[in-house]
């Protein structure tokens, strides 16, 4: 790789805007990197789509990001990471990182004696078995307790983060994990980092593994190993979406922390 390669942007994509939590984590950890984000807001959610459709959508987004001359692609979508990562890696001339592996690997980094942990995610991610398959490959001695939490994403997107109902729903899902005696819990959805404060208050015994933060850690390691790290200055962040909805700005601030200056609508092939 050349110095010119290091100046190229990192591409990040998700089925919607939830992946902005990953983008934000990357931007904080690697402020010198130019970042391009694509959110497929016109076709969200991916969780209700077939595997074939998720693969097709993901490959279309990959092609778009490659036109932006990216040096690396992050699939910041748990569904795409679960169902399309292999196809993305086979078709991509640049490295592709999903959000499942970093979360699992983080367990070993925190404590290499862990033999049991939990993961909460959307129903489609849990149904795919992606975390279990990854754990069996990377940490064969690890037993993973998986819990689908289908109400958390719509609750977050409706702005209920600090409502009483949020605590009730979290307790409905997480009390079972607490009863199992689990202490290490992977947040297996890009929306869930927004719930960390509440979960920690309700369950202080949980060690929360934030897949967004862990993905940023893994990306930094990979870029360093490949000598692709950008300059140590303020990198640009450009946002592309397939649709701009009425609630777009509120969602953008919710997941990224502030409004992004560059937003462009791009319609991909259907």
Contact call for residues 266 and 241 (beta carbons, < 8 A)? yes
What pLDDT was estimated at residue 250? 66
All residue ranges of the chain with pLDDT < 70 are 1-4, 111-112, 232-233, 246-255, 257-261, 270
Cα–Cα distance measured from residue 241 to residue 93, given in angstroms and rounded to the nearest whole number: 23
Catalytic residue among 25, 44, 77, 194: 77
Contact call for residues 5 and 32 (beta carbons, < 8 A)? no
Catalytic residue among 17, 35, 189, 239: 189
Task: Return the closest-CA partner of residue 51 out of 119, 127, 104.
Answer: 127
Task: Return the closest-CA partner of residue 78 out of 266, 194, 203, 210.
Answer: 210
What pLDDT was estimated at residue 33? 93
Put simply, whether the predicted model's pTM sits higher than 0.75 gets the answer yes
pLDDT digits (tens, 9 = 90+) for 33-79: 999 999 998 888 888 888 999 999 999 999 999 999 999 999 999 99
What pLDDT was estimated at residue 233? 63
What pLDDT was estimated at residue 1? 44
What domains are defined for the chain?
A: 3-98+214-265 (3.40.50.1860), 100-212 (3.40.50.1860)
The yes-or-no answer on residue 77 being catalytic is yes
What pLDDT was estimated at residue 209? 96
Six token digits for residue 168:
């009730």
């Amino acid at each position: 790789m050349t110095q010119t390669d290091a100046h190229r942007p990192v591409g990040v994509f998700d089925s919607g805007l939830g992946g902005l939590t990953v983008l934000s984590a990357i931007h904080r950890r690697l402020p010198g990197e130019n970042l391009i984000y694509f959110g497929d807001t016109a076709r969200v959610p991916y969780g209700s789509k077939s595997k074939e459709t998720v693969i097709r959508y993901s490959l279309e987004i990959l092609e778009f990001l490659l036109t932006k001359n990216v040096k690396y692609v992050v699939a910041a979508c748990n569904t795409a990471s679960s169902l399309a990562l292999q196809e993305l890696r086979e078709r991509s001339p640049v490295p592709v990182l999903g959000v499942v592996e970093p979360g699992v690997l983080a367990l070993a980094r925190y404590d290499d004696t862990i033999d049991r942990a939990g993961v909460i995610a959307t129903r489609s991610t849990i149904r795919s078995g992606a975390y279990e398959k990854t754990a069996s490959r990377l940490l064969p001695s690890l037993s993973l307790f998986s819990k689908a939490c289908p109400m958390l994403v719509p609750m977050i997107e409706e702005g209920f983060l600090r409502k009483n109902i949020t605590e009730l729903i979290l307790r409905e899902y997480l009390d079972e994990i607490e009863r199992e005696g689990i202490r290490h819990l992977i947040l297996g959805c890009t929306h869930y980092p927004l719930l960390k404060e509440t979960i920690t208050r309700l369950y202080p015994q949980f060690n929360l593994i934030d897949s967004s933060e862990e993905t940023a850690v893994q990306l930094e390691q990979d870029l360093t190993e490949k000598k692709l790290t950008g300059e140590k200055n303020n990198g640009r962040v450009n946002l592309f979406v397939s649709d701009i909805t009425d609630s777009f700005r509120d969602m953008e601030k919710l997941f990224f922390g502030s409004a992004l200056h560059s937003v462009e609508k791009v319609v991909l092939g259907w």
